[in-house]
Amino acid sequence: MNALVKVLVLCCFSIGAWANEVPLEKVNVATDAVTISRGAEDLMNDCHSCHTLKYIRYRDLVAFGIDKQKVDAWRGDQAMDSPLLGQFSDADAMQSFGIVPPDLSLMVKARDGGSSYVYSYLLAYHNSPDGVLENPVYPATKMPDALGIASATDAAQRTEIQGRARDIVSFLTWAADPHDAERKRLGYYVLGYLIVLTTLLYFVKNQIWGRLK
Amino acid sequence: MPGRIIKWIDQRFPLTSFVKHELTDYPTPRNLSYWWNFGFLAGVVLMLQVVTGIFLAMHYRADISLSFDSIQHIMREVNYGWLLRYMHATGASAFFFVIFVHMARTLYYGSYRAPRELLWWTGQGLLLLLMATAFMGYLLPWGQMSYWGATVITNLFQATPFFGDQIVIWLRGDYTVGDATLTRFFALHYLFPFIIIGAVVIHLVALHTVKSSNPSGIDLAAKDNIPFHPYFTIKDLYGLGWFLIVYSVFVFFLPDSLIEPANNIPANPMQTPNHIVPEWYFLPFYAILRSVPNLVGGVVAMGLSVMMFAFMPFLDRSRIPGGAHYRPIFKIQFYLFLLDMLVLGYVGYTPPTNQTLLIGQIATLCYFGSFLLIPFISRIEERWLVRRGLPPAVIALMESEALTIEQRRLKHRRRGEQA
Ligand code: HEM
């Protein structure tokens, strides 16, 4: 039956081989508070006008460690406990775009490719030779080029936009799973405990079975 | 004092003798390999699912306008809600993994043969209950895959002769999958695990009547049986340690690898996802469904593909003990069958193209072929093995078995003459 295990392992490796048709640009999301705070700020400036984050409340941002004064400025007269709702009504959005912009709180988990998908999508905008705005990652998209990457020709400016996209994606990754860091931290303790326990059980088992001989 | 209490109970209820007979002193073959750990593991996963499920149900809302949000509430606001949800979602996959290994072990060693047919059939019943439970649980988060998966699968009941449409409406409680479907799936998803627990008890009663098989396939003399406790309690616990390590890697580090991204989008009846895939554990059966171009044929083929296992005691009449252990051709067939399952899984996962359709159809034929050819192959194989010469221990067993069959026949004949 060992052959069975080998076959299974081989197949698990081969499944990863065919994922996405459009090659996505891999992004290494940051998990540090500074980048995520910066991403939150960029998102409030560049995306929040159209998109909601209904599973995130202003209080969550403060609890995460984003400067309270900034959060107060963002929320205006909304309560600390209110979620990050959009400024567009659905009807207005339909009028402007023909579609309601999707909520972003779970976006990173809701697409194949995850954070790399969102990152590539934001940066894939470019002008075709006849001056038409195109996005190969999502060709039919109705979203405008929010970060202005298509019109950025200057290398320094492009780098700045790429950095901003990465910050925003890092924030969105946090927003999709705020307990991610806590989960992994706990995971190391759990695994450590289980490995010690299993090792001990192994010795006890050998000792008990040793009586049989 | 505790001694007196136990004595008091024992005079009124067979507590000590039950524990002794069924647990501590239960005779178990000493040569069981680690493949025999998986039954115990299935029991543990069942308990994990029940406990995490009950706590999830305290925060979950079965209402199409609230379900998706209530899952996010669990993931974000409930204390350790993310742990409950990830343990439960990962646990479903772990359950199927453990059950599939458990079944593969049984197939490999031929443990479904006499006298263990009933044990095998109760296991088949458990597989069906598990599939139903997981299918209904998958609707509860009310994501895109939940909705469209349930729509596709309930639609299959249209294949029922005469009442097809009515049955579909009866199952859904509405013309489309909706609130009525969600609430009934929740009620049944809560109920079924307890039916499973009952079925597990029956499974274990059957097991304790016929006792465990073992890798040699030969019924061992009493001297080769050892008491379950402490030998197998510790071996099961050690195996559990390994299981929990792998399970924890998924729960804590890869929890989303088992959740389809589209299920993080709320269900939207107006928008079909471009590619509807079931959970990985249903993929081979889904591939068989799609391989048959006609709805009724596909449904029958899929139903049969799950039920084929129940026919194994009839299909495999080989008297060579030890399953694939002593049977080289059966062994090859076993591995080809596993390979075929993987091919079917792959076909079920990819969007259908002409090429995968063809591969799927060939794999479907191989799937049924590998069951239906068993009677012929096992007879030829048995004859060949006998001619080649079996290990003496096997010969001794076969002779004693042939003797019992002969005696049984005699008894029947005598009874026939009396009547
Ligand atoms: C045989 C054992 C069980 C299996 C195989 C199973 C399977 C599942 C599956 C596949 C899901 C969807 C998970 C997801 O994608 O989020 C689910 C959800 C759920 N199950 Fe179970 N379940 C079992 C037992 C139970 C029990 C005993 C209860 C309650 C008493 C329960 C309550 C729930 C609830 C409330 C949800 C929705 C929350 C969620 O989706 O995470 N389950 N189950």
Same domain, B35 and B183: yes
- Is B236 assigned a catalytic role? yes
For residues A62 and A201, the answer to whether their CB atoms sit within 8 Å is no
Is B76 in Cβ contact with A7 (below 8 Å)? Answer: no
Of the three residues B257, B276, B295, the one that is the final residue of a domain is B276
Same domain, A121 and A170: yes
End-to-end CA distance of chain B: 60
Question: Considering the domain boundaries, does residue B18 fall inside one?
Answer: no
pLDDT at A20 over 50: no
Ligand 1, CB cutoff 6 Å, lining residues: B 46, 49-50, 53-54, 56-57, 60, 71, 85, 88-89, 92, 95, 130, 133-134, 137-138, 140-141, 189-190, 193, 196, 259
Nearest beta carbon to residue B35 from set A1, A187, A202 = A1
With contacts defined as CB-CB under 8 Å, which chain B residues touch A112?
A: 261
Specify the pairing of strand A133-134 against strand A126-127: antiparallel
User: Is B352 found in the same domain as B210?
Assistant: no
Q: In this predicted structure, what is the pLDDT of residue B19?
A: 92
> Same domain, yes or no, for B143 and B66?
yes
Same domain (yes/no): A96, A31: yes
Residues A38 and A79 in one domain: yes
Is the same domain home to A56 and A155?
yes
Ligand 1 atom closest to Cα of residue B196: 1
Structural domains of chain B, count: 2
Q: Is residue B268 part of a domain?
A: yes
User: Which residues constitute the domain of residue A113?
Assistant: 23-178
Q: Report the CATH number that the domain containing residue A162 is assigned in CATH.
A: 1.10.760.10
Q: What's CA B26's distance to the chain center, in Å?
A: 25
Residues B111 and B246 in one domain: yes
Residue A187, chain B, CB below 8 Å: the answer is yes
Quick one: B290 and B205 in the same domain?
no
The residue among A15 and B16 whose pLDDT is bigger is B16
* B74 in Cβ contact with B68 (< 8 Å): no
Q: What was the pLDDT predicted at A138? A: 94
A189 in the same domain as A173: no
pLDDT at B178: 97
Q: What is the reported pTM?
A: 0.92
Q: Say if residue B53 is in the same domain as residue B162.
A: yes
CA distances from B124 to A174, B39, B112, B322, B367 (A): 43, 14, 11, 21, 18
The DSSP string of B52-81 is HHHHHHTT---STTTHHHHHHHHHHTSTTH
Answer whether residue A6 shows pLDDT above 60. Answer: no
Residue B5 domain-assigned? no
Chain B residue whose CA is closest to A14: B346
- The number of folded domains in chain A is 2
Give me the domain span that covers residue B309.
283-388
Angle between helices B81-108 and B38-57 (to 10 degrees): 150
Output the DSSP codes for B186-228: HHHHHHHHHHHHHHHHHHHHHHHHH----TT-SPPPGGGEEEH
Residues 82-141 of A with CB under 8 A from B: 105-106, 109-112, 114
Same-domain status, B155 and B287? no
Domain end among B276, B307, B338 = B276
**Residue B331 known to be catalytic:** no
Are residue B129 and residue B37 in the same domain, yes or no?
yes
A73 and A167 share one domain: yes
Are A120 and A212 members of one domain?
Answer: no
Q: Residue B196 maps to which CATH number? A: 1.20.810.10
Residue nearest to atom 9 of ligand 1 (CA): B137
Do both A168 and A142 map to the same domain? Answer: yes
Q: Dig out the tokens for A94 from the structure.
A: 């339909």
Residue with the smallest CA separation from ligand 1 atom 25 is B53
Question: Is A207 in the same domain as A174?
Answer: no
In a shared domain, residues B215 and B118: yes
For ligand 1, the distance from its centroid to the CA atom of residue B92, given in whole angstroms, is: 8
Residues B306 and B355 occupy one common structural domain: yes
The per-residue pLDDT for B412 is 66
Q: Is B20 helix (H, G, I), strand (E, B) or coil?
A: helix
A14 within some domain: no
Atom index in ligand 1 nearest the CA of residue B143 equals 15
pLDDT digit string (tens) for chain B, length 419 residues: 789 999 999 999 999 999 999 989 999 998 899 999 999 999 999 999 999 999 999 999 999 999 999 999 999 999 999 999 999 999 999 999 999 999 999 999 999 988 899 999 999 999 999 999 999 999 999 999 999 999 999 999 999 999 999 999 999 999 999 999 999 999 999 999 999 999 999 999 999 999 998 887 777 766 778 999 999 999 999 999 999 999 999 999 999 999 999 999 999 999 999 889 999 999 999 999 999 999 999 999 999 999 999 999 999 988 887 788 788 899 999 999 999 999 999 999 999 999 999 999 999 999 999 999 999 998 999 889 888 877 777 777 667 666 666 666 666 666 666 65
Measured CA to CA, the distance from residue B344 to residue B285 in angstroms comes to 8
Q: In whole angstroms, what is the distance from residue B370 CA to residue B374 CA? A: 7
Contact between B252 and A1 using a beta-carbon 8 Å cutoff: no
Token pair in block for residue B33: 């390999």
Residues B122 and B34 both lie in one domain: yes
B212: annotated active-site residue: yes
Q: How many CA atoms lie within 13 A of B301 on its CB side?
A: 24
**What is the Rg, in whole angstroms, of the alpha carbon atoms belonging to chain A?**
23
Q: Which residue type, as a one-letter code, is found at position B21? A: H
pLDDT of residue A110: 96
